[in-house]
A and B are shown apart, each in its own frame.
Chain A
Amino acid sequence: MADVVVEQGRVVRATGGRKGSSLRNALGRKSTVAFFLTLPLILLIALLVLYPAFYSVYLATLNKAMTKFVGLSNFTFLFKRETFWMVVRQSCIFAITAVIFKALIGFIVAHFVHNIPAKGQRKWRGMLLVPWVIPPAMSTLAWLWLFDPSYSAFNYTLSFFGVGPIPWLGDTFWARFSVILVNVWYGAPFFMIMYLAALKSVPDQLYEAAAIDGANWWQKIWHITLPMMRNIIAITTLFSLIVTFANFDIVRILTSGGPLDTTHLFATWAFQVGIQSSDIPLGACVSLFMVPILAVAAIFILRDVTKRGNEA
């Protein structure tokens, strides 16, 4: 009996030791540490992103009075609304045009900054980032005053050249132009800084080799710079597309969606329908409609990035 007890005791001790060491091992593993370090962020995202996201899905299934479940009928109602399809079209025009111009301007400016000698480059980088670091709600107010019907500084300046006055925010074309312009002004520095970082990571030897082979500047850009920057361009475009699609403040401050709803985006129209017209379920539906559009874009872009990552 005594042997058995000892045996059992040893066995128990041995098991306990293994458990302790496996826990120690688990805690010591890099992935576990990483998990615990990111846990606060995960909880924050769950609280501030996931919960509201699921809550808005729930809201989108209620009737206007929010008293009964109506399934997908809010979505089917939206699909029959002329204004909704106009908002879909406008959101696409706004986001795609703005992202193209931001990428283009960012790419060109990044090249200029890259070619500035290292000594003075920091000043330029800082100055060019200013539009991006000012809260857009504030900078858009300044733009509003520049476009102002009574006091527009742009129209005042144009009047010296016999041009205008231009109804910057009162005409559909100019209103769309204005909101896209402000968005490009605000977002181009983000592209610039990302592209600049990518440019700096392209080895100089590649350009030297190309120069020896007699490549001109366009061939260098096409065959070296762009392939080396493809992943950064793809990721930056995706992020910017998401943020631009979901834009609210610029349109809200400049035009409130007018004239005749022709500058409304998903977010501004969702606000008008959900909060101002007290139809929260329909407002939730409008904002949720962004999800499938962005999901499709994200799938295509990220699949391409992963494919190239695997090839590398």
Chain B
Amino acid sequence: MSRKTLTRRQFVAATAMSSAALITAPYVRGAYAAGKLSIGFWDHWVPGANKASTDLVNEWAAKEKVEVSIDYITSNNKKIELTAAAEAQAKSGHDILQMPSWWPQAYSENLEPLNDVMEPLLKQNGDVNGTVKYLGQSGGKWLAVPATPGSQIKGPCSRIDLMKKHAGIDVQEMYPAGSPPKADNWTMETFLKAAEACHKAGAAFGIGLGETTDSVDTAGAIFQSFGAELVNAKGDITVKTDQVRQAMEFYKKLIAFLPPDAPSWDDASNNKWLISGRGAMILNPPSAWAVAKRDAPQVAEQCWTHGFPSGPKGRFAPYLPYFWGVWSFGKNKEAAKSLLVHLSAPTSIEKFVAVSGGYDLPAYANMTSFKTWAEEGPPKGTLYHYPDPHKHQTLSIAASPAPPKVAQQIYFQATLTKMALRFARGETMDQALAWAEGECEGFMRS
């Protein structure tokens, strides 16, 4: 029995041709197109941001003569995750569904490969960072397209006045608006000293130790800056290493300077901590600052978003991308791909960034210097360093580089914060590590 094989040259040529066709030609309703497209977008917390998405979709729909319906799904109480789980089980639902970070990997078997969309987009918008590739790709296959709405870096948002007064650090000088950072001395050691000084002065850093994403993301970046991995990229458990011990020792010292109820914090607690004027720093995207502009303008005027401190193994910042996925069981996949190309055009991305007041972050290298970030204020330039325009830090996600399906469990079971908290609350290092090792063994199920 003869079997026709596809040579590498043929594959490259076919991919290039289909990519070129997708970018240049408008989507034409073919025999397979139903003429309808159902979309599930993340319900943005910024007033008016959803309208921008709707306008962009309608603009595309009018041009392509496709009937669209959009559902805006809140991320509160994991509504998007529940929707994704239900649709993957039912093999029915939206054609395009916006998913948080880990979900393209979790449903990789149910997602349409999007290489023909991503390859031209990467040429057009620039490369994406390693975390987007880690979360969005599997075996060379693009599982989903990085979405600008919702994607965020959870770097430090500091109080200019309190950091200067209590810790002797001028964050504006360290991260000047419009210029590259001068943050060589901004290390984990400096960070810890500043945390101690601010704690003593009654303006503790607002870092959670709970089980929600803000707490886990912070722990992830700190562990990575020490080179500490619970499970390595090959899937081997590497809990009992010197790097993990160093990260744990650091965390124990840090926990002593955090608010006593930090173990119960959720993702809103750090925002409240900053807006109430009680803390000198939180690690969060600029949503807290945006709310402070409305509710506590005197606090907002003193906020400055900047880069993460560096550790022995580098400077890592927590990065949480959202993705747009196309279900393989969707009814109108070609139209869905065409829309994703439209939503990822530079003009669309700039619009997303502008309407979100700079909160939404594009994943592409050439899209980090829009005027929104330079101009937003007060104080003017407060968001300049938010998108990391000078590629000053490694954007990473907690629990990476473990195989994504293992890492997702480390992430959502908050293993990093729990082991640090256990150690800080009196367990010995060996007990805390043994507990974490046992947890990781459990996450190896396939």
Residue of A nearest to B405 (CB): A278
Checking A171, A258, A278 against B211 with a beta-carbon cut-off of 8 angstroms, the contacting residue is: A258
Per-residue 0/1 for B253-281: is the Cβ within 8 Å of any A Cβ (1 yes, 0 no)? Answer: 00000011111111001001100101000
Q: Mask for A164-200, Cβ within 8 A of B = 1, else 0?
A: 0101111100010000000000000000000000000
B319 at the interface (CB under 8 A from A): no
| Binary CB contact string for chain B from 402 to 446 against chain A (1 if under 8 A, 0 otherwise) | 000100110011100010011001000000000100110010011
What is the CB-to-nearest-CB distance from B210 to chain A, in angstroms, rounded to a whole number? 5
Q: Which residues of A contact B273 (CB under 8 A)?
A: 149-150
Other-chain residue from B78, B272, B418 in contact with A276 (beta carbon distance below 8 A): B78
> Given A167-B261, A170-B264, A261-B418, A151–B272 Cβ distance below 8 Å?
yes
CB proximity of A276 to chain B, nearest CB, Å: 4
A150-B269 contact in complex given A260-B422, A276-B81, A278-B408, C-beta closer than 8 Å: yes
Give Cα A279–Cα B442 distance, bound, in whole angstroms.
Answer: 11
A90 at interface by CB-CB < 8 Å: no
Distance to closest chain A CB from B416 (angstroms): 13
> Given A169-B261, A278-B405, is A256 in contact with B210 using a C-beta cutoff of 8 Å?
yes
Given contacts A149-B264, A278-B102, contact A259 B210 (CB under 8 A): yes
Q: Looking at the assembled complex, report how far the CB atom of B313 sits from the nearest CB atom of chain A, in whole angstroms.
A: 27
Q: Which residues of B contact A72 (CB under 8 A)?
A: none
- Within 8 Å of chain A (Cβ to Cβ): is B338? no
Q: Which of chain A's residues have a CB closer than 8 A to the CB of B438? A: 82
Q: Among residues 138 to 175 in chain A, which have CB atoms less than 8 Å away from a CB atom of chain B?
A: 148-151, 165, 167-171, 175
Q: Are B405's CB and A81's CB within 8 A? A: no
Q: Is the CB of A275 within 8 A of B264?
A: no
Bitwise interface map of A from 228 to 266 toward B, beta carbon under 8 Å scored 1, else 0? 000000000000000000000000100111111100000
* A143 → B minimal CB distance (Å): 13
Chain A residue nearest to B261 in the complex (CB): A170
B263–A260 contact, CB under 8 A? yes
Interface size, chain A (Cβ < 8 Å): 35
Asked if B56 lies at the interface with its beta carbon under 8 angstroms from chain A, I say no
A65 adjacent to chain B (CB < 8 Å): yes
Complex CA gap A151/B295 in Å reads 15
Assembly CA distance A127 to B102 (angstroms): 46
Closest to A77 in B: B445
Cα A79 to Cα B103 with chains together (Å): 28
Cβ of A64 under 8 Å from chain B: yes
User: Which residue of B85, B261, B276, B442 contacts A275 across the interface (Cβ within 8 Å)?
Assistant: B85
Interface members, chain A 38-87 (any B CB < 8 Å): 63-65, 77, 81-83
| A203 and B109 alpha carbons, distance in the complex (Å) | 67
> In the bound complex, do residue B412 and residue A272 qualify as a contact, i.e. CB atoms below 8 Å apart?
yes
Q: Is B115 at the interface (CB under 8 A from chain A)?
A: no
CB-based nearest A residue for B422: A260
Neighbouring B residues of A170 by C-beta, 8 Å: 260-265
Closest residue of chain A to B273 (Cβ to Cβ) is A150
Q: Is B34 an interface residue (CB 8 A)?
A: no
**What A residues does B425 contact at CB under 8 A?**
260
A233 to nearest B CB, angstroms? 35
Asked whether, in the complex, the Cβ of A260 is within 8 Å of the Cβ of B262, the reply is no
**Cβ contact of B413, chosen from A64, A165, A168, A277, cutoff 8 A:** A277
B212 touches A256 (CB 8 A): yes
Residue from B212, B260, B278 in contact with A150 in the complex, judged by beta carbons closer than 8 Å: B278
Tell me whether A63 and B264 are in contact (CB under 8 A).
no
Structural contact, B446 and A149, CB atoms closer than 8 A: no
Do B276 and A150 have beta carbons less than 8 Å apart? yes
Residues of B with C-beta under 8 A to A286: none
- Most central of A82, A175, A259, A280 by chain B CB within 10 Å: A259
Q: How far is the CA of A165 from the CA of B405 in the complex (A)?
A: 40
A282 interface residue, CB < 8 Å from B?
A: yes
B102:A272 contact, CB within 8 angstroms: no
Cα–Cα, bound, A259→B412 (Å)? 14
In the assembled complex, B77 has its CB within 8 A of some CB on chain A: yes
A63, A81, A276, A282 pick with most chain B CB within 10 angstroms: A276
Distance, CA A175 to CA B209, complexed state (A) = 15
Q: Does B409 contact A277, Cβ atoms closer than 8 Å?
A: yes
Bound-state CA distance A271–B82 (Å) is: 10
> How far, in whole Å, are A165 and B297 apart by their CA atoms in the complex?
28
A276 contacts across to B, CB distance below 8 A: 78, 81, 412
Report chain B residues within 8 Å CB of A255. 264
The residues of B that contact A83 with a CB separation of less than 8 Å are 439
Q: Which of B207-261 contact A (CB under 8 A)?
A: 209-212, 259-261
Residues of A within 8 A of B259 (CB): 149
Q: How far is A82 from B440 in the complex, measured between Cα atoms in Å? A: 12
Is the pair B264, A150 in contact by a Cβ cutoff of 8 Å? Answer: no
Q: Are B78 and A275 in contact (CB under 8 A)?
A: yes
Residues of B contacting A168 in the complex (Cβ-Cβ under 8 angstroms): 261, 264
In the complex, the answer to whether A148 meets B272 with C-beta atoms within 8 Å is: yes
Report how far A65 CA is from B403 CA in the complex, Å. 14
**B52 at the A interface (CB under 8 A):** no
Question: Chain B: which residue is nearest A64 at the CB level?
Answer: B445
User: Complex Cα distance A276/B259, Å?
Assistant: 27
B263 touches A259 (CB 8 A): yes
B78 adjacent to A149 (CB under 8 Å): no
Return chain A residues, CB-CB under 8 Å to B262: 149, 170
* A256: chain B residues within 8 A (beta carbon): 210-212, 266
Q: Which residues of B contact A279 (CB under 8 A)?
A: 409, 445
Confirm or deny: B169 has a beta carbon within 8 angstroms of a beta carbon on chain A: no
Complex CA distance for A271 and B210, rounded to whole angstroms: 17
Q: Which of B59-106 contact A (CB under 8 A)?
A: 77-78, 81-82, 85, 89, 102-103, 106
Find out whether the CB atom of B408 lies under 8 angstroms from the CB atom of A277. yes
Q: Compute how far the CA of A29 lies from the CA of B408 in the bound complex, rounded to whole angstroms.
A: 59
Q: For residue B413, which residues in chain A have a CB less than 8 angstroms away from its CB?
A: 272, 277
Say yes or no: A258 contacts B210, CB within 8 Å: yes
Q: How many Å from the CB of B325 to the closest CB on chain A?
A: 14
- Kindly report which residue of chain B lies nearest to residue A281, judged by CB atoms: B445
Cβ–Cβ < 8 Å partners of B276 in chain A: 150-151
Residues of B within 8 A of A (CB): 77-78, 81-82, 85, 89, 102-103, 106-107, 109, 209-212, 259-266, 269, 272-273, 276, 278, 405, 408-409, 412-414, 418, 421-422, 425, 435, 438-439, 442, 445-446
Q: Show 8 A/B contacts (Cβ-Cβ < 8 Å), sorted by A.
A: A149-B265, A151-B272, A175-B264, A256-B211, A258-B210, A260-B418, A277-B409, A278-B106
